[in-house]
Amino acid sequence: MQFKKVLLVDDEPLVRRSLEKTLLRAGYQTETAGSALEGIGLFLKNNLTDSPFDLVILDINMPNFEGIEKQGAGLDLLSEIKAHNPDIPVVMLTAFDEVNKAKEAVSRGALAYIVKGREQNLISLLNETLGE
């Protein structure tokens, strides 16, 4: 079986590590980043290889491209990733059930919007999206 490669970008170390473990246990090869700047760097580096990411998971609120904490920086990262690869599936994460941000994420091209703590929903969505 070919492992699917996932990029996870979240600024909270405990959340990032927990989700990384969940993804690894589910059989996904996972790389992590803690900011929009770090995330776009990893994405672009891997996008140029013969093993690009199959899916991206982004927190909505994190440090932006200048390293400054910004509400919605994950939405900016979503737009940047989609500019480089319009077809890659992107799932947005948030700690809050914010309908307006969910709508904005989907309008910018996100596949879905998941509230943190609902990891089983996330794994089910990934399996369905990536044909596992």
What is the number of domains present in the chain?
Answer: 1
Average pLDDT (54-59) is 96
Local confidence band at 132 (pLDDT 50, 70, 90 cut-offs): low
**CB burial class (10 A; 0-12, 13-18, 19+) of residue 87?**
exposed
What pLDDT score was predicted for residue 2?
Answer: 59
Greatest C-alpha distance within the chain: 40
What pLDDT score was predicted for residue 1?
Answer: 43
> Tokens 């996870």 — which residue?
8
Q: At 56, which CATH number?
A: 3.40.50.2300
Reply yes or no on whether the pLDDT at 118 is more than 90: no
Local confidence band at 97 (pLDDT 50, 70, 90 cut-offs): low
Average pLDDT, the chain: 90
By residue range, what is the domain housing residue 39? 5-129
> Tokens 């939405």 — which residue?
75
